[in-house]
Amino acid sequence: MARRYGSHEALAPTDLDVRAGETLALVGPNGAGKSTLLAILAGALEPTAGRVERASAAPRVGWVPQRPAQYGRLTARENLELFARLEGVQDVPGTVERLLALVDLVGPNRPAASLSTGNQQRLNIALSLLADPEVLLLDEPTAALDPGQRRRLWSLVDVVRERGGAVVFATQNLDEVEHHADAVAVLQAGRLVFLGPFAEYERSPAAEIFA
């Protein structure tokens, strides 16, 4: 898969496997193509070349983009209720309350636009978990979270992985790569320059390309 914007190549032809039960970290400088790759995997952006092959016809995908993917005039609770219905969730009220508690969201009855950046990110995370995703895609998910919320997020990620789901996360934090990644993909100027287990990444020249 690849993505161009006119003459600009945001993502060069890239061959990447996302495996069940694995957590894959995407690292690289700003503008390396990490967000573009995640958006293509999420189905929010079409590749201009190549395709995304999926193991099943319609895998359940949860996506946490960098920018809030929510309706600012609706409350956090109303956002969750709306997207839960769109996802075909059976017990909407119960699921909404469970997720609000799971992410410890403050101010669930306030308009989403009035929430702090951290609470908007908590809402983003809750929205991504609505459909019990088989694939969870996270674009710098901890950037606006305090240390306690970061620990909570990684506990939720572990639950997805332990039940056989796949997790892909982009990060600027190399400590997160060390502690949470089974494998690492390094992007530079839109090109995949390394892909392999974390142990190999540590020994490779690509480790010198700081995220």
Q: What phi, psi does 153 have (nearest 5°)?
A: -60, -45
The pLDDT of residue 208 is 81
Alpha-carbon dihedral sign for residues 83, 149, 180, 209: positive
* Per-domain boundaries in the chain: 1-60+133-211, 71-131
Find residue 111's DSSP bridge partners: 75
How many angstroms separate the CA atoms of 51 and 49, rounded? Answer: 7
Match 């979270």 to its residue by tokens.
145
pLDDT digits (tens, 9 = 90+) for 67-90: 878 999 999 999 999 999 999 999
What pLDDT is attached to residue 78?
A: 97
- Spatial distance between the Cα atoms of 115 and 202, rounded to a whole number of angstroms: 39
Cα(115)–Cα(209) distance, rounded to whole angstroms?
35
pLDDT confidence of residue 210: 62
- pLDDT beneath 50: ranges in the chain: 211
pLDDT confidence of residue 177: 94
* CATH architecture for residues 1-60+133-211: 3-Layer(aba) Sandwich (3.40)
CA–CA gap between residue 65 and residue 130 (Å, rounded):
15
Check residue 23 and give its pLDDT: 96
User: HSE-up of 140 (CA within 13 Å, CB side)?
Assistant: 17
The pLDDT value given to residue 70:
93
